[in-house]
Structure formats: structure tokens, C-alpha cells
Amino acid sequence: MTLALGDDRHVLSHEAARRLRGALDDALYRVHEFTHTTGEHRPDGSYVVARRRASSAGHRKVFADADAVRRCYDELPEAFTAEDVTCASGGRRHMLVWHFAEHPGYDCEIVSRQPLTARKGEEG
């Protein structure tokens, strides 16, 4: 097998190619666990937000990629409730409010539990 990286070409044995593929799959697949939610980076590039400790599909939202999650967050007002989260439906909206507040990549915090309300920080 020949692996091309830009102008560089590398010849790999079948076994070396299989090990490289495994290493790449491991590098591309990550799950971040938070208190209420998880964020899963899949090898196909998609990003899944799921309710922690839930197994049914009704407790997860699959995004095309992490940028799609960022766009969902960026479209939200400075202070927002689950009703403001239009990129999902039903209970997934609440799950996303929690995810934005828990994930360190979003400058956001829960300011009220009834109704569930989050506020973006100075960095938005």
C-alpha cells in the first residue's frame, strides 16, 4: 500500500497499514463525559451529544460535525432556555442546554433550574 501525504509517498505493508488505520480511528474517536451529558467525536466526523447514562436514541442528538454544534450555540441569545434551542426538539433541547454549560469549549453557565436557563459569558 502507498500512503501519500502531500508530495511525500510512503510504502506500507498490509499489517503496517492496518495498525495505522487503528491508530487513526483511536485518535479520531473521543468521548468526553460530563455530569449530565457526553460529547462523542466519531471517526466519520460527526459529533453526538447524549444524556449521560442513557442508552436510547431519544436521548441523543447527532450533528454532522462539531462546527454544527458551535453554530447551534452561536445562534442562541445571551441568556437562553431550552425553548430557544431550535437545532433540536423535545427533551434534547434541555440536554443541549446542559451540554453547553458543562463543556469547557463553551463560555456558558446554568443560572436557573426552573426553568432551565443558561447565560453566555463575556466570550459568548
Grid cell at residue 113? 433550574
Neighbours of 119 (CB within 10 A): 15
Neighbours of 120 (CB within 10 A): 19
Cis preceding linkage at 104, omega within 30: no
Low-confidence residues in the chain, pLDDT < 70: 22, 25-28, 123-124
Question: Quick one: pLDDT at residue 103?
Answer: 96
Question: Quick one: pLDDT at residue 25?
Answer: 65
d(CA 96, CA 77): 14
